[in-house]
């Protein structure tokens, strides 16, 4: 079974089983204009906060967190996103709504508009970050959701592990900004399904590169984030730079020192961080070193 088949199997399983704590069969989505039905996805939460990563750091925006992820990154700070609850919270200022899973894209869009209305009254630009989990397990949902909110002037940011370019191609027309990870092998644990495991010495470099190409062709702004732990070595980092070399003119490379969490107890040491930065600068990447600012501010 190849990577694409394994991801499709994971998606079908999660939608068929429904929330982990109360298995239910997904109901049909309500009809949209034109008779089509909005795609569904299981969600973890919808809330308002400040973007803590990448070029939009410090910008207020809504966040829609999708449940399910095929990977198990050692530094992952959202392991609760691996499985969906029966109901998920929508944070509207001082009150929360509880919505049933899975949710249709048009309903999710309406909820995001409510969150933005409560958190950004009078804002000139509204943004929503679709994050996870891994949103590209549900590309039809991302597409339909993006279409709904962009019709209302909301800009869509997609945060993804960028290992499924075919899925990205299905929804990229409704994405304004792509934040794509480049996963270094030293930062990965055993995946959710054995068939998703990398062969020894392999990487997701080809998939990452293809995702960036798709987003750049569409005209979206692109950040590529490399998370650095104390286990990362020069060889894998240099391989990442080589994979991205031909795309560097239209991307921002973000080197993110890992926030200690779970299996990662130490971030990258200062000498190693300085060496990785120097390598990227030498290769003439537009590069930033940025920690998870929202963690430092104790924001969600």
140-191: per-residue pLDDT in tens? 999 999 999 999 999 999 999 999 999 999 999 999 999 999 999 999 999 9
pLDDT at res. 6: 65
CA distance 276 to 282: 10
pLDDT at res. 37: 74
Query: What is the pTM assigned to this prediction?
Result: 0.90
pLDDT at res. 196: 85
Report DSSP state, residue 29: P
CA distance 195 to 1: 7
Q: Where are the beta strands (DSSP E) in 56-125?
A: 60-66, 87-92, 95-100, 103-104
CA distance 55 to 74: 24
CA distance 182 to 161: 7
Q: Where are the domains of the chain?
A: 3-226
77-109: per-residue pLDDT in tens? 999 999 999 999 999 988 899 999 999 999 999
pLDDT at res. 32: 43
**Domain 3-226 is found in CATH 3.20.20:** yes
pLDDT at res. 93: 83
pLDDT at res. 18: 59
CA distance 104 to 144: 9
Q: In the block, which residue shows the tokens 């590209």?
A: 136
Q: Provide the token pair at 270.
A: 């200062």
Share of residues in the chain with pLDDT > 90 (%): 78
Query: Which stretches of the chain are DSSP H helices?
Result: 3-17, 105-119, 139-150, 165-171, 205-218, 234-244, 270-282, 293-296
Query: Which stretches of 219-269 are DSSP H helices?
Result: 234-244
Mean pLDDT by 10-residue block, N- to C-terminus, for the chain (300 residues)? 65 63 38 61 97 94 97 95 97 92 98 93 92 98 98 97 98 98 96 90 96 98 98 97 98 96 93 98 98 78
């Amino acid at each position: 079974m190849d990577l694409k088949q394994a991801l499709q199997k994971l998606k079908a399983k999660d939608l068929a089983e429904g929330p982990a704590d109360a298995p239910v069969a997904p109901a049909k989505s309500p009809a949209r204009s034109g008779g089509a039905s909005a795609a569904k996805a299981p969600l973890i939460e919808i809330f308002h906060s400040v973007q803590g990563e990448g070029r939009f750091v410090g910008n207020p925006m809504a966040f829609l967190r999708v449940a399910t992820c095929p990977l198990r990154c050692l530094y992952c700070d959202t392991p609760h996103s691996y499985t969906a609850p029966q109901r998920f919270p929508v944070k509207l200022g001082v009150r929360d709504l509880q919505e049933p899973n899975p949710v249709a894209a048009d309903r999710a869009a309406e909820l995001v508009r409510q969150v933005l209305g409560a958190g950004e009254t009078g804002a000139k630009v509204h943004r929503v970050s679709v994050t996870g989990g891994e949103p590209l397990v549900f590309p039809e949902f991302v597409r339909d959701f993006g279409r709904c909110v962009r019709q209302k002037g909301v800009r869509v940011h997609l945060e993804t592990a960028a290992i499924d370019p075919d899925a990205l191609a299905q929804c990229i027309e409704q994405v304004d900004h792509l934040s794509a990870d480049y996963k270094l092998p030293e930062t990965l644990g055993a995946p959710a399904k054995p068939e998703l495991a990398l062969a020894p010495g392999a990487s997701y470099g080809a998939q990452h590169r293809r995702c960036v190409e798709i987003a750049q062709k569409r005209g979206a702004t692109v950040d590529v984030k490399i998370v650095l732990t104390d286990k990362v070595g020069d060889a894998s980092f240099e391989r990442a730079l080589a994979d991205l070399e031909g795309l560097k003119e239209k991307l921002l490379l973000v080197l993110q020192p890992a926030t200690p969490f779970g299996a990662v107890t130490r971030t990258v040491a200062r000498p190693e961080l300085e060496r990785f930065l120097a390598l990227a600068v030498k290769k003439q990447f537009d590069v930033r070193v940025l920690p998870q600012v929202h963690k430092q501010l104790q924001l969600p």
